[in-house]
Structure 1
Amino acid sequence: MSTSPRPDPLATFDSLDPTAYAFTRCTWVDAPPARVYHLVGDVSSISRWSPNATDAAYDRDAGPRVGAWFSGHNRKDGREWTTRSQVVRADPAAAFGFVVGGTENGIVQWDWTFRSQGRGTIVRQSWKLLRLDPVLGTTRADLDDLRRYMTDSVEVTLASMAQYFAGDCGTHEMAPGTPG
């Protein structure tokens, strides 16, 4: 009887592949893609849904466009920190994405896509580790725990977003002339 070797939970950076740390989750929300994109692209909205992101704001004179920068404040396990992120995709009503750390030195990429289905939208949220960095953990077990934690966080975020739109809580958030 042959058994495959179990991954070493203490394996360090030298033997880890960052591409193994990625996932996508999705949900249906009761709103058109343009409306969902508008709220996701307004990064200050994320704290309404995310259990970890407590505040986010674009730099002065920036907004949801490729190349724009924003700062985000996060909380996890009693720790708090601020990140700098750069928008890498801003396709109104279709997709929004950013890289924590920016395109040249990023460690994590977040992507959102929006596809019309019936009267609502299928929202896909993806998380992908771009490179290894000790701030995220130094062993396979650390990174496995991080991926599990982030997966749970995304699932909570998407469920909260679906509930938010189901209750039509975002109606007053639309800027004049914004479709949706």
Structure 2
Amino acid sequence: MSQSLSFSDSILIAAEPETVYDIVSDVTRTGEWSPICRECWWDEGDGPRAGAWFTGRNVKPDREWETRSLVQVADGREFTWSVGPGRVLWSYRVEAEDGGTRLTESWEVLPAGHEFFSEKYGDEAPAQLAQREQDARTGIPETLAAIKRIIEQR
């Protein structure tokens, strides 16, 4: 089960890259746009910097769970965090384009994530990972559209 699972999508937003970055790197706002992650908070009053930790609360119709994440990159152009950490990598990248900003959201299950799913779900791991991939493939475009709407209505 070492196959790569990843997905990314992009959207053009009519706003400056700095504005887009400031919004997407504020994890406390995640519940405004994510279809699954209802809220996030910085651990111990931290903020959007490499090495910072945050916790997220996720909700689906059949379950609710929390994750801890470690920010890996927070440089004004990219905001990347590792869930677990080391299991799943999520990222936002901002790039100036056509007088606005191209925002790209990416998701990737890392090797430790595959191992985690194998240990936790056994024979059901492939089905569980397939569901996570489907969630990313539908959730990322939905998230990007919501972020665009929020920013452009400001």
Q: C-alpha offsets along residues 117-171 of structure 1, whole Å, 9 cap, x if unaligned?
A: 1221000000000121235783333322220122101111001111112212xxx
Q: Distance in 2 between matches of 1:60 and 1:140?
A: 35
Corresponding residue of 2:131:
145
In the TM superposition, 1:20-35 aligns within 5 A as 21-35=5-19
Amino acid at match of 1:17: S
Equivalent residue in structure 2 for 1:72, among 50, 53, 56: 56
Percent identity reads: 32
Equivalent residue in structure 1 for 2:140, among 144, 154, 159: 154
Q: Distance in 2 between matches of 1:18 and 1:99?
A: 19
Structure in which a larger fraction of residues adopt strand: 2
Corresponding residue of 2:27:
43
Corresponding residue of 1:111:
91
Structure in which a larger fraction of residues adopt helix: 2
Q: Distance in 2 between matches of 1:18 and 1:64?
A: 31
Query: Is the Cα contact below 8 Å between 1:136 and 1:146 reproduced in 2?
Result: no
In the TM superposition, 1:131-142 aligns within 5 A as 131-132=113-114, 133-134=116-117, 135=120, 138-142=124-128
Question: Normalising by the residue count of structure 2, what TM-score does the alignment of the two structures yield?
Answer: 0.89
**Paired residues, number:** 148
- 1:44 is displaced (CA, Å) by 0.6
Query: Is the Cα contact below 8 Å between 2:38 and 2:57 reproduced in 1?
Result: yes
Q: Distance in 1 between matches of 2:121 and 2:24?
A: 25
Q: C-alpha offsets along residues 35-84 of structure 1, whole Å, 9 cap, x if unaligned?
A: 11111111011111111111101112311111100010001123111110
Q: Distance in 2 between matches of 1:167 and 1:136?
A: 42
